[in-house]
Structures are given as C-alpha cells and as structure tokens.
A and B are shown apart, each in its own frame.
Chain A
Amino acid sequence: ELKVEQNPLFLSMQEGKNYTIYCNYSTTSDRLYWYRQDPGKSLESLFVLLSNGAVKQEGRLMASLDTKARLSTLHITAAVHDLSATYFCAVDYLMRADKLIFGTGTRLQVFP
C-alpha cells in the first residue's frame, strides 16, 4: 500500500526565516504534486514535478523531487504571513489520476 508522509505536520515560523517541508512516499512514482489550502477553502495547485531531479520555483517557494530517494521537498525562503496555509503533497500512484494519494498536510503558520 502506498503511503505518503509529510513532516512536520505543523510548522510555526517567524517571518523572514527559511524552512523545508518534507514529503516521503513508499513506492515508485515519477509524479508528485504540491497543493496549498487556505482554511475552509479548496486546494490550489502550486507545483507539478514530473521527473527525477525536477525543481520548480514560484516566489518564495521552491519544490524538488528525488525519485530515487522517494522524497520531495518544499522549501520556504524568507517566509511572510501570506504563506500561512496547509500544504499537501500528492503522489501519482501507478501513473493514474484516480490513484492520486495525498499526504496528511503540513499546517504552516508564519508570525511576525
């Protein structure tokens, strides 16, 4: 059974600091997605990583994928309050969208 684990589950960080969220998964997959969810809202797609070594950046967020280590990271640079949200990674198990397995999410809180 595929498992997708994120850590930390909760992250409270000061504005201006850097931090990394980790997403580990238990079986082979070349596709990984990162989503953001604001409280009570839907999921917003952040990054789509489709191959080993893929790196994508948008603003203060950078995501990478190491398929050999079965690990993706979401790095936050110089955090700002607007980044406060829950971040989910999802793995495309068996390369089928109906087998998209989500992690439990990392709730990020950025304070002044």
Chain B
Amino acid sequence: DGGITQSPKYLFRKEGQNVTLSCEQNLNHDAMYWYRQDPGQGLRLIYYSQIVNDFQKGDIAEGYSVSREKKESFPLTVTSAQKNPTAFYLCASTPTGVGTEAFFGQGTRLTVV
C-alpha cells in the first residue's frame, strides 16, 4: 500500500543535541513538506521540497535543516539552535501541480528531556 511513513513515533532529545526525524513516501509524489503542530494549534510549515536536491524554507525554518537526496525521502533535523523543539511533527507529500491535496504521515512526537 502506498503511503507516508514517519519514524520514530516518539523521540526524546537532550538539551544541545541534534536529532533527525525520518519521512519516507512511496506515492511517487514530487513535493514533500514538514509541519510543526503545537498543542491546541494548527500546523505551521517548516520546510518544503518540490524536487530532488532542492528545498525551501517555510514560515518557521530557524533551528531546523532538511535534505532531499532522493524523491522518496525528506528527513528533518532538529538542531540545538531550535530552542523550543517539543512538538508534534508531521510530514506530508503532494503530487506535482497546484491545488493538490496533501497526504500526511502518522507524525513524530518530539520531547526535550
């Protein structure tokens, strides 16, 4: 079955540590996205990529980094520069084209300990 897989489901980070969240899709979608969700709030865009080897900052990119070496994969690194990383992170993908529906992974809950 086609879909988006995020791992791990839960992640704990120590202060000053970098962590990487995985996102893999087998939908053959060109575009992939990372969103952050804080309790009781909507989603905010961190980074997005429309093609391999290219990505753009979203609204809250500071303290995060991404790579897009393969069409299927779009990992997100939460760096030590991100001062408040505790949140629920969602990866999504869309096929090429405007106005297309986004499909979401199951999410990763990151907690700073």
When chains A and B are docked, how far (Å) is the Cα of A102 from the Cα of B98?
A: 17
- 1/0 per residue, CB under 8 A from B, across A83-112: the answer is 000001010100111101011110100000
| Minimum CB–CB distance for A21 against chain B, Å | 14
* B109 contacts across to A, CB distance below 8 A: 40
Chain B residues closer than 8 Å to A96, beta-carbon distance: 98
Name the residue in A31, A35, A102 with the highest tally of chain B Cβ atoms < 10 Å from its Cβ: A102
Q: A41-B107, A45-B103 are in contact. Are A95 and B98 (CB under 8 A)?
A: yes
Chain A interface size, as a band, is 20 to 34
Contacts of B56 in A (CB 8 A): 98
B63 is an interface residue with CB less than 8 A from chain A: no
Interface residues of A in 48-86 (CB under 8 A from B): 48, 50
Query: A92–B99 contact, CB under 8 A?
Result: yes
CA distance A95 to B94 in the complex (A): 13
On whether the beta carbons of B50 and A104 are closer than 8 Å, the reply is: no
In the bound complex, CA of A35 to CA of B42 (Å): 11
Contacts of A45 in B (CB 8 A): 101-103
Give, as a whole number of angstroms, the nearest-CB distance from B37 to chain A: 9
A33 contacts the other chain (Cβ, under 8 Å)? yes
Given contacts A40-B107, A97-B94, list 17 more A-B pairs with CB under 8 A: A4-B42, A30-B99, A40-B109, A41-B106, A43-B104, A45-B101, A45-B102, A92-B98, A92-B99, A95-B98, A96-B98, A97-B99, A98-B48, A98-B50, A102-B44, A104-B41, A107-B40
